[in-house]
A and B are shown apart, each in its own frame.
Chain A
Amino acid sequence: MRGLFLYTLKRLLGAVPTLFLLATLVFFVLRLAPGGPFDGDRVFPPEVKAAIDAHYGLDLPVWKQWTVWMRAAFFHFDFGESFQYLGRTVNEMIAFSLPPSLLLGGLAMLLSLGIGIPLGVLAAWRQGTWLDSSAIFFAVAGVSLPSYLVASLLVLVFALGLGWLPAALWDEPSSVVLPVLTLAFRPLAITARLVRSSMIEALSSDYIRTAHAKGVPVKGVLFHHALRNSLIPMITVLGPLAASLVTGSFLVEMVFQIPGLGKHFVGAVLNRDYPMVMGVTLIYGVILISANLLADLLCAWADPRIRLDSERN
């Protein structure tokens, strides 16, 4: 127990330099890029431009801007003022747009595990039958079908065709359905495929034959014996799964007009809203690092043979 605590602490402390490095890289990539946030179509008179630059600290040398921003972000969790939304801080924008994204991502994660795992188990159990082949086809299609096509098909059928669900916006409970289905599609396919292959491996081992021989019911063998042992590879994909949900959210939130983090991230990159890009990137960093840590902890819990401290080479 104490080892677990120390390990978690070590990993959390190790995340700080990673985030620092990430923030620094992103900062310089943004500042060194050609074109600035305020040289759009509208040309400001020089004195107005100077006033704007002074207000946002853009008149300082780049390294100075870097120290100012990094100090505020890492010591006060203050990400600065948004360039594109006048008078709003990045913190406000994040507080505002994180909940829809988390809800969307969380539901999609639940859905992809909740359907993907049983589907993989079923396919492995009925290996070689039509059920298995259709599961495999679905899994391959799932990774080959870009999510905007999933979204288009869902909207065409359920919103425009049948009129059951809203095609976009985020104003009633039913508007959650299509975005979540879109977002969950790819992770679900990945989950099903992975569970299938590790289940097939587990089902061919000796303890399964023993369990069958001593008369354990099929359901018990599948879910109690085999699934438990094939969960480890499943847990290790939680990290990549979280990553694919983040990526998916950019598109899903744009397509369905959801005021979430992903939509703001894309908008901020397009409009050169540097503080917003930095803030959202760091939030993504925190989410993804936590997902990876959680996956490692779950792995150790599921299989005590995995030694946490030796995990990191």
Chain B
Amino acid sequence: MNFWRKFIHKRVPFLSLLFLATVSIGATFAPTLTRQSYETQNIEEKLETPSAKHWMGTDSLGRDLYSRILYGARMSLAVGVLTALLSLTVGTLIGSVAGYRGGRTDSFLMRIVDLFTIFPSLLIAILLTVFLGRGFLGILLALALTSWVTHARLVRNLVIQAKGLNYVESARAMGLRDSRIVLRHILPNIIGPMIVSLTFQIPTNIMNESFLSFIGLGLEAPYSSWGTLANEGFRAMRSYPHLILFPGTILFITLLAFNALGDGIRDVLDPHGKRDFGG
């Protein structure tokens, strides 16, 4: 409760949260929020500019852009959030083992983490899409498999710090099993920085997914995300700039809101934490 009281006074992060809640509700209730279908092609109404019937115009196949953006939000947000949760889980598992065990286990695991740090996650994700395919699950796995290292490093360092503290010492003296010490004692104490890291991971994932979709290596039809829309919009940009401006703007504001939200949560939960800019 203390968290909320502090958080609610931060104007920009709070507004960002409201905005993101609106987008999520829009994505969830997309079918009731638009009467136009996102997939029905209507060649007679193609490439229209915004009007009362098509709020954001139509694309080159006559599909309603507003509906496509609402349904695209489902894909983009789902990939962003699920990937972040998955990579946090994997990262926490590996990071806590490395940090708690130390020694050889630690140096072996950290070598792998180093390898992932040198190479940009998108490059690895592109390579992995060849193997995992370009369906929803494939993209999700490809992005999660490349982003867990950020969490792993963070959790490892936090666990190492916690290991030296008295409460861990006494838990050990009481003869608790290692897994119980990590799960029930250490993790609840370091959950703050982990949540911050999770929040910052979401916009990165949304951006990376849109990147993959934009260069044609992302989600394949029938799925379409904001990145897919931006790609199609870019091709038609010369004559119909609204096709890139609408999806682009909503994507930009969403990413901005996630980053502002992360900043706000960090200020409350982890005041000394630093933002980690990955490649």
> Are A149's CB and B251's CB within 8 A?
yes
Q: Is the CB of B241 within 8 A of A156?
A: yes
| Additional 11 contacts, C-beta under 8 A, given A144-B207, A149-B251, A243-B278 | A29-B130, A33-B131, A34-B133, A144-B259, A149-B248, A156-B241, A243-B118, A246-B120, A247-B123, A250-B126, A269-B127
CB nearest to A194 among chain B residues? B277
B251: chain A residues at CB < 8 Å are: 146, 149
Residues of A within 8 Å of B207, CB to CB, are 144, 146
**Is A255 in contact with B234, judged by CB distance below 8 angstroms?**
yes
Known: A146-B210, A148-B234. A288 touches B131 (CB 8 A): no
Min CB distance, A84 to chain B, in Å?
14
**B139 located at the interface, meaning its Cβ lies under 8 Å from any Cβ of chain A in the complex:** no
Contact A140 B277 (CB under 8 A): no
Distance to closest chain A CB from B273 (angstroms): 12
A156 to B260, CA, bound (A): 28
- Does A270 lie within 8 Å of B260, measured CB to CB? no
Residue of B nearest to A288 (CB): B118
**Docked-complex contact B120 and A254, CB < 8 angstroms:** no
Known A-B contacts A152-B248, A156-B241, A251-B214; A292 and B118 likewise in contact (beta carbons under 8 Å): yes
Cα A143 to Cα B259 in complex, Å, equals: 9
Residues A289 and B234 in contact in the complex (CB < 8 Å), given A33-B131, A144-B259, A149-B252? no
Task: Report A-chain residues with C-beta under 8 Å of the C-beta of B29.
Answer: none
Alpha-carbon distance between A250 and B263 when the two chains are bound, in angstroms: 29
Q: Does A244 contact B (CB under 8 A)?
A: yes
| Stretch in A4-12, A18-26, A95-103 with 4+ CB within 8 Å of B | A18-26
The reply on B108 being an interface residue by CB < 8 A is no
**B252–A145 CB distance below 8 A:** yes
Q: Which residue of A lies closest to B278 (CB)?
A: A240
CB nearest to B247 among chain A residues: A149
Q: Cβ of B231: which chain A residues have Cβ within 8 Å of it?
A: 148
Scan residues 215-250 of chain A and give those whose CB is less than 8 A from a CB of chain B: 237, 239-244, 246-247, 250
- Other-chain residue from B110, B241, B260, B279 in contact with A240 (beta carbon distance below 8 A): B279
- Interface 9-mer from A68-76, A171-179, A277-285, A303-311: A277-285
| Set A144, A239, A272: member contacting B256, Cβ < 8 A | A144
Q: List 10 A-B contacts (CB under 8 A).
A: A22-B119, A34-B133, A140-B260, A145-B252, A146-B227, A146-B230, A160-B238, A240-B277, A246-B279, A250-B126
Chain A residues, CB < 8 A from B115: 18, 21-22
Cα A32 to Cα B130 with chains together (Å): 9
Interface: B165 (CB within 8 A): no
Q: Is the interface of A mostly helix, strand, loop or mixed?
A: helix
Chain A residues in 8 Å Cβ range of B110: 313
Interface residues of B in 89-134 (CB under 8 A from A): 107, 110, 115, 118-120, 122-123, 126-131, 133
| Chain A residue contacts of B214, Cβ below 8 A | 146, 148, 251
Chain A contacts of B230 at CB under 8 A? 146, 148-149, 152
Interface residues on B, range: 35 or more
Residue-wise interface mask of B (216-250) relative to A, using a CB-CB cutoff of 8 A (1 in contact, 0 not): 11000000000100110110011001001000100
Interface residue B84 (Cβ < 8 Å from any Cβ of A): no
Alpha-carbon gap, A170 to B131, bound state (A): 33
Contacts of A299 in B (CB 8 A): none
* Separation of A240 and B130 alpha carbons in the complex (Å): 25
- Nearest neighbor of B244 in chain A, beta-carbon distance: A152
Q: Which residues of B contact A277 (CB under 8 A)?
A: 127
- A268 and B238 CA atoms in complex are apart in Å by 28
Q: Is B255 part of the contact surface with A, judged by Cβ < 8 Å?
A: yes
Assess whether A297 is interfacial by the CB under 8 Å rule. no
Kindly state the separation between the CA atoms of A269 and B216 in the bound complex, as whole angstroms.
11
B211 within 8 A of A: yes
Whether A109 is near chain B, meaning CB under 8 Å from some CB there, is no
Chain B residues with CB under 8 Å of A155's CB are 237
* Residue in A closest to B248 when the chains form the complex, CB atoms: A149
B103 to chain A, nearest CB (A): 12
Inter-chain CA distance A254–B115, complex, in Å, is 27
- Establish whether residues A254 and B215, one from each chain, have CB atoms under 8 Å apart when the complex forms: yes
**Which chain B residues border A241 with CB–CB below 8 Å?**
279
Known: A239-B118, A240-B279, A247-B120. A30 touches B252 (CB 8 A): no
- Is B203 an interface residue when CB atoms closer than 8 A count as contact? yes
Q: Is the C-beta of A190 less than 8 angstroms from some C-beta in chain B? A: yes
